[in-house]
């Protein structure tokens, strides 16, 4: 494409936007609203997944040893567990540490009456996983290790967290598809109006030898510009409001501050910016390109 042709099609694309300004504004408003909803939904989902992930990392499998096991064997068992892909870390808790924690949490001052450690054989590993959905596989493996007496797990917690992650994924896909469909439909309508307004002009251009690419390009550029602007506006709004909303939630629900761990604005926007721009421009391109191919037959 020659430079002059590029600037001509770019100019015509911009002219088309202002020529059909009400339809362009309607498309812009729709894309802005849809991508704003997408941005809000994405932020909520990512933070929710982050909270669930943090909760998953706090779910541990307790591994207890057979009586009389040697310290060397305990170390070997720990090394075997750490080699598993699903294991994040394995913390060793001695019998003394187990008793100190139990007495502090449940007995208080009454613990002073015990002269011996009743949890003498309760040394254990607290094994934390990267993905709790694989907990049962890990438990089955650990139970097969020689020297392991018992493995305690929280199956209900693991299943609940895994189910929540799956539900979030399904809902996310459904909402994104709906938003994309609505935005593409509006872009298509705007381009259709632009074609009908310029139909006579397009016919003349075709009769004097203009190529299909030359005729179609301004409409495609029009859709892409609307899509790009429609993506930029909600990104700016989201960037301004994100920290304020997070601060408000933390302040109002300070009781749950230990559970509510939110992503920073930088972490959210590192992905949200490119994804929103690609979606906006992509919606504009697909909606206008398909519409132009369908309606320009002169």
- Encode pLDDT of 34-71 as tens digits: 788 888 888 888 887 787 777 766 778 888 888 888 88
pLDDT tens, position by position, 134-154: 888 888 898 898 888 888 887
Q: Could you give all domains of the chain from N- to C-terminal order, each with its CATH number?
A: 3-55+160-295 (no CATH), 60-153 (3.30.70.3040)
Q: Tell whether pTM > 0.85.
A: no
**In degrees rounded to 5, what are phi and psi of residue 66?**
-70, 155
What's the pLDDT band for 298 if we cut at 50, 70, 90? very low
pLDDT tens per residue, range 233-253 = 999 998 888 888 888 877 776
């Amino acid at each position: 494409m020659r430079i002059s042709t590029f600037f001509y099609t770019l100019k015509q694309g911009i002219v088309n936007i202002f020529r059909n300004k009400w339809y362009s504004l309607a498309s812009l408003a729709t894309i802005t609203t849809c991508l704003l909803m997408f941005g809000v939904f994405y932020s909520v989902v990512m933070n929710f997944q982050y909270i669930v992930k943090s909760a998953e990392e706090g779910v541990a499998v307790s591994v207890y040893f057979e009586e009389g096991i040697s310290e060397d064997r305990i170390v070997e068992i720990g090394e075997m567990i750490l080699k598993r892909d699903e294991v994040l870390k394995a913390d060793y808790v001695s019998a003394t540490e187990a008793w100190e924690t139990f007495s502090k949490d449940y007995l208080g001052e009454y613990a002073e009456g015990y002269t011996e450690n009743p949890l003498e054989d309760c040394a254990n590993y607290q094994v934390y996983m990267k993905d709790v959905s694989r907990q049962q596989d890990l438990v089955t493996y650990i139970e097969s290790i020689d020297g392991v007496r018992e493995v305690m797990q929280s199956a209900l917690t693991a299943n609940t967290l895994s189910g929540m992650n799956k539900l979030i994924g399904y809902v996310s896909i459904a909402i994104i598809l709906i938003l994309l469909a609505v935005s593409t439909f509006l872009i298509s309508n705007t381009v259709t109006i632009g074609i009908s307004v310029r139909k006579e002009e397009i016919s003349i251009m075709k009769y004097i030898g203009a190529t299909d690419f030359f005729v179609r390009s301004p409409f495609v550029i029009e859709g892409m510009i609307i899509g790009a602007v429609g993506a930029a506006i909600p990104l700016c709004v989201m960037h301004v409001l994100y920290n304020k909303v997070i601060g408000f939630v933390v302040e109002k629900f300070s009781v749950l501050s230990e559970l509510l761990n939110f992503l920073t604005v930088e972490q959210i926007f590192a992905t949200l910016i490119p994804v929103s721009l690609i979606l906006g421009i992509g919606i504009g391109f697909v909606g206008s390109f398909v519409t132009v191919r369908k309606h320009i037959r002169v």
